[in-house]
A and B are shown apart, each in its own frame.
Chain A
Amino acid sequence: MTEYLKAMINPVTFSAAFRLGTPLLIGLSGYCFSNKVGILNIALESFMMISAFFSLLGSYLFLNQYIGALFGILSGIVLSIIYGILVFHLGANGLITGVGFNLSGWGLTTMLLVAIFKTRGAANVDASYFASIDIPFLRNIPFISDVFNNQTILVYISPMLILISYFVMYKTPFGLRARGIGLNSKAAETAGIRVIRYQWVSMIVSGATMGLSGAFISLNTIALFSENMTSGRGFLVLASAMVGKGNPIISMLVAYVFSYFEALTFTWSSFPINTQLIQMLPYVAVLIVLFVTNFKNIKNAGDIDQ
Chain B
Amino acid sequence: MSFDYILETRDICKNFGKLAANDRISLKIKRNTIHSIVGENGAGKSTLMNILTNIHKADSGEILINGKEVKFKSTIDAARQGIGMVYQEFMLMKGFTSFENIIVGFEEKKGIAIDFKESRKKVERICDEYHFPLPLDTLIDDLPVSVLQQIEIVKVLYRGAEIIILDEPTSSLTPQGIRGLFSAIRALRDLGKTVLFITHKLKEVFEISDEISVLRDGKLIGTYQPSDVNPQKLANLMVGREVILKANKAPHEVGETVLKVDNLSVYDKDGIERVKGVSFDIKKGEILGIAGVAGSGQQHLSEALYGLTRPKQGSSIEFNGEEISRGNPLDRHKNRIGYVPQDRIGSGCNVNGTIWENCIMGYHKARGFDPPWLLNYKQAHDFSRKVVEDFDVKIQTIEDRVGSLSGGNIQKLIVGREFSQQNILLIIEDPTRGIDVGAIEYIWEKLLDFAAQGVSVLMISHDLNEVMQLSDRIMVMYDGHLYNAGNYLELTEEQIGLIMMGGSLHE
A: residues with CB less than 8 A from B are 167, 171-173, 176-177, 179-180, 183-184, 186-193, 305
Contacts and interface: CB of A to CB of B under 8 A. Distances in A.
B104 A184 contact: no
B113 A171 contact: yes
Interface string B71-108: 00011100100000101001111111000100111110
A191 B106 contact: yes
A186 B89 CA distance: 11
B434 to A, nearest CB: 24
Contacts of B94: 183-184
A182 to B, nearest CB: 8
B113 A183 contact: no
A190 B113 CA distance: 22
Given A171-B114, A187-B92, A192-B106, 11 more contacts: A172-B114, A176-B103, A176-B107, A177-B105, A180-B93, A180-B96, A188-B104, A190-B85, A192-B75, A192-B105, A193-B104
Contacts of B79: 192
Nearest to A176: B104
A191 B104 contact: yes
> Is the interface on chain B under 10, 10 to 19, 20 to 34, or 35 or more residues?
20 to 34
Contacts of A167: 113
Given A184-B93, A184-B94, A187-B92, A173 B75 contact: no
Nearest to B87: A190
B91 A187 contact: yes
A250 to B, nearest CB: 15
B93 A188 contact: yes
Contacts of B85: 190
A183 B107 CA distance: 18
B374 interface: no
A192 B76 contact: yes
A192 to B, nearest CB: 3
A183 B93 contact: yes
B125 interface: no
Contacts of B91: 184, 186-187, 190-191
Contacts, number: 57
A186 B93 CA distance: 9
B334 interface: no
A176 B99 CA distance: 12
Contacts of B326: none
A305 B85 CA distance: 29
B74 A176 contact: no
Contacts of B269: 305
A188 B105 CA distance: 8
A15 to B, nearest CB: 35
Contact of A177 (B75, B76, B104): B104
Contacts of B93: 180, 183-184, 187-188
A112 B158 CA distance: 56
Contact of B100 (A172, A176, A186): A176
B365 interface: no
B109 interface: yes
Contacts of A189: 75
A180 B114 contact: no
Nearest to A190: B91
For B87, B113, B269, the residue with the greatest tally of chain A CB atoms inside 10 Å of its CB is B113
A173 B107 contact: yes
Contacts of A190: 75, 85, 87, 91
B96 A179 contact: yes
Given A180-B104, A186-B91, A191-B104, A172 B112 contact: yes
Contacts of A180: 93, 96, 100, 104-105
A192 B100 contact: no
Contacts of A179: 95-96
A171 B85 CA distance: 27
A183 B105 CA distance: 14
Contacts of A184: 91-94
23 contacts: A167-B113, A171-B114, A172-B114, A173-B109, A173-B114, A176-B100, A176-B103, A180-B96, A183-B93, A183-B96, A184-B91, A184-B93, A184-B94, A187-B93, A188-B93, A188-B104, A190-B75, A190-B85, A190-B91, A191-B104, A191-B105, A192-B76, A193-B105
A-B complex: 10 closest residue pairs judged by Cβ atoms: A192-B76, A191-B105, A183-B93, A187-B91, A184-B93, A190-B91, A173-B107, A180-B104, A183-B95, A171-B113
A187 B96 CA distance: 12
A69 to B, nearest CB: 25
Nearest to B93: A183
Contacts of B96: 179-180, 183
A183 B85 CA distance: 20
Nearest to B95: A183
Interface in B457-499: none
Contacts of A173: 107, 109, 114
Interface in B106-130: 106-107, 109, 112-114
Nearest to A191: B105
B52 to A, nearest CB: 13
Contacts of A305: 269
Contacts of B112: 172
B352 to A, nearest CB: 16
Nearest to A167: B113
A177 B107 CA distance: 10
Nearest to B155: A191
Contacts of A171: 113-114
B95 to A, nearest CB: 5
A31 to B, nearest CB: 19
A172 B269 CA distance: 35
Nearest to A184: B93
A305 B308 CA distance: 13
Contacts of B76: 192
Nearest to A171: B113
A92 B371 CA distance: 42
Contacts of A191: 91, 104-106
B75 A176 contact: no
Contacts of A183: 93-96
A265 B354 CA distance: 54
Nearest to A168: B112
A78 B101 CA distance: 35
Contacts of B107: 173, 176
